[in-house]
Amino acid sequence: MTTETTHDGATAHGGEHSAEHGMSTRGYINIALILAAITALEVSTYYVDFGPLFLPALLIMMVVKFFMVVSYFMHLKFDNKLFSWLFYAGLFLAVGVYVAALGTFHFFIR
């Protein structure tokens, strides 16, 4: 570089080859197997009566799958925290405003 672009190392982070890839192929396949198993369990609720557990179980499984993909396949767990902040800001804001909006329609107390 001919320019003064050296930075005083704010949160210098190796970029390319560092901790971004904390998983092996085997690890990815394991994650996929767990995801598949949870999906099978989800689908089983359609055939088996889970009683009062039905709704919470489905929602919990959905959330678990969601965060597994985000954390492992999208590497958020291993990546710089700034990426997590930016994405989760959008995610939780979305959940917050839309749950509140549906709340004003008395959506959750019918």
Contact flags string 3-32 toward another protein, x per CB under 8 A: xxxxxxxxxxxxxxx---x---x--xx-xx
Q: Give the count of residues interacting with another protein (CB under 8 A).
A: 64
Binding flag, residue 37, another protein (CB under 8 A)? no
- Report CA 64 to chain centroid distance, whole Å: 8
The distance of closest approach from Cβ of residue 51 to another protein in the complex, given in angstroms and rounded to an integer, is 14
Q: What is the 3-state secondary structure (H, E, C) of the chain?
A: CCCCCCCCCCCCCCCCCCCCCCCCHHHHHHHHHHHHHHHHHHHHCCCCCCHHHHHHHHHHHHHHHHHHHHHHHCCCCCCCHHHHHHHHHHHHHHHHHHHHHHHHCCHHHC
Establish if 74 lies at the interface with another protein (CB under 8 A): yes
Q: Rounded distance, CA 78 to CA 71, Å?
A: 8
34 is a contact residue toward another protein (CB under 8 A)? no
Under rule CB under 8 A, residue 41 binds another protein: no
List residues near another protein by CB under 8 A.
Answer: 1-17, 21, 25, 28-29, 31-32, 35-36, 39, 42-43, 45-46, 55, 58-59, 61-62, 65-66, 69-70, 73-74, 80, 82-83, 86-91, 93-98, 100-107
